[in-house]
Amino acid sequence: MYKELIINDTEHETRVALLEDGTIVELFIDRGDDSNIAGNTYKGKVQRVLPGMQAAFVDIGLSQAAFIYVDDVVGNTDDQYEDIFVTKDDERLVESEMEEPLPFSKRRDSNIEELLTEGQEVLVQVAKSPIGSKGPRVTTNISLPGRFLVLMPTVNHIGISRRIENEAERMRLKDMVNRIRADQSGYIVRTASEGVTEDKLVKEMMFLDNMWKKLQKKNNTASAPHLLHKELNITLRAVRDLLTDEADKLIVDSYDAYNAILIFLDEFMPGLKESVELYEGQEPIFDAYNIEVDISRALKRKVWLKSGGYIVIDHTEALVAIDVNTGRYVGKHNFEETILKTNLEAVKEIAYQIRLRNLGGIIIIDFIDMEKLSDREKVYNALKEAFRKDKSKTNVLPLSDMGLVQMTRKRIRKPLKIMMCEPCFYCDGDGHLLSKQSICYNIYREVLREAMDMVGERFTLRVNPEIAELLHGEESKTILSLEKKLKKQIVIYPNHRFHIEEFDIFEILKS
């Protein structure tokens, strides 16, 4: 499979698209605000401790306070959690690079009030960027990623990327890292380390160790809240984390970004400079690679399948619901075959859309009901297989008797729709408007209410042009009924500036 990174870099926004055989599968967006701060390290101040939730709010200098769970607080003694490795929902440490199973930090013998107090200054790192009304989630378990290694100075653990499958190579790397590390700091050995020499790992260890010492020095002198260390921008992060072992080529449309990438590669990965290309075409780069069309499609509620079936994707506050329908597809042989074929086609599109839209949390998929157990198993196995390439951790449960699949997918960053869209100012995010007929009847009732306090000889209605057309046509009986009931004339004026649900009622006094 041929993979490319396409980067569209402008002053106000940077977009990074990962393409697999010419099709976009992941999209990363950075607009220079607080929406993408995962990996940043802050000196924060504890605002409030919540014993009932075993968590605390930490001021890190943003508009929203950060949230920290007891599980993410390092104890005061060095050996209390010596052999603990904490896995974080972090764009930088993709789960596909972590060996499994890994122990999690569980503070069953500690309470949050024993570890944190209001006003206390703490060194924290953003594990999850803010999403919607939720502030960022932070941890005191710091991790600093490089090309080959990830330094975890607060834990004593050596982990090897599960993508390195050769057992002899895994043991070589683990023994090497254990031998050359200067202290008991933990390390994750990344996929790019496969086959590297010891001197390269030593150099990177020194680099990461110096970074940690500088960060600690800043922490000792800065006053909270304060940003101590900022993660690489999205372009260089893509180079470090994706070009290394995810993509075969990187194409960027900005000369400044192109030079920054080459300087970065010169220092850390000179062998990859040949993989970088500056796009100089007249057509916008995302148009040239047909990416804009796929992004627009990923923002729509309904997605059509090639067979004529379709899926509907709905977001709620707590979960994502996906519904599969046969649509225009009628099949060729029998009903059961039609349903199975539609469901199997939907599986591929669902896995693709979930990854591209970056949907996370609880996801419920309503497949078309299948009577045969063998058909259900085919769909379930196909769904599990479709998520094998997904870097985010997923857990898929078997189909229920009603054809529902319950699954979870780890949230890493904001869903594409939340990043690029905002609630409709017409319907306030409801997703629906009153039907034109309902609006006409609302007008009828409102005129009756207003008439009780009006003494004029006639009424003037100002409405949206579409409603005016309806009141003059199909719903003219509504107006005639009002005129008969009130014994007054009603004059209708269309107003192009009116929202479809908006209307005004005026009385006209006798001149």
The predicted structure's pLDDT at residue 101:
37
The predicted structure's pLDDT at residue 245:
65
Q: What's the length of the chain?
A: 511
The predicted structure's pLDDT at residue 128:
85
Q: How far apart are CA 24 and CA 5, in angstroms?
A: 9
Q: How many CB atoms lie within 10 A of CB 236?
A: 18
pTM of the model: 0.74
Estimate to the nearest angstrom the gap between the alpha carbon of 466 and the chain centroid. Answer: 38
For residue 362, which phi and psi values (nearest 5 degrees)?
-85, 130
What's the token pair of residue 271? 């062998």
SS (H, E, C) 379-421: HHHHHHHHCCCCCCCEEECCCCCCCEEEEEECCCCCCHHHHHC
Q: How far apart are CA 355 and CA 363, in angstroms?
A: 12
Q: How far apart are CA 14 and CA 256, in angstroms?
A: 12
Burial grade of 289 (CB within 10 A; 0-12, 13-18, 19 or more): buried
pLDDT in tens, the chain (511 residues): 788 999 999 888 899 999 988 899 999 988 876 667 888 999 999 999 999 889 999 999 988 899 999 988 864 333 322 222 233 333 334 334 444 333 444 444 678 888 999 999 999 999 888 876 788 899 999 999 888 899 999 888 889 988 788 899 999 999 999 998 888 889 999 888 888 888 888 988 988 998 899 999 999 998 989 999 988 888 988 888 888 667 789 999 999 999 999 998 888 778 888 899 999 998 999 999 999 999 988 999 999 998 888 999 998 877 999 999 988 766 566 788 888 889 999 999 999 999 999 898 899 999 988 888 898 899 999 999 999 888 788 999 998 888 899 999 987 677 888 888 887 777 777 777 889 999 999 999 888 888 877 777 788 999 999 999 999 999 999 899 888 888 888 999 999 999 898 999 888 776 5
- Lateral strand order in the sheet of 186-189: 144-145, 149-152, 186-189, 158-160
The predicted structure's pLDDT at residue 102:
39
The predicted structure's pLDDT at residue 237:
86
**Are the beta carbons of 66 and 57 closer than 8 angstroms?**
yes
For residue 274, which phi and psi values (nearest 5 degrees)?
-70, -15
Nearest CA to 71 out of 116, 33, 27, 38 is that of: 116
For residue 195, which phi and psi values (nearest 5 degrees)?
85, 0
Q: How far apart are CA 427 and CA 266, in angstroms?
A: 52
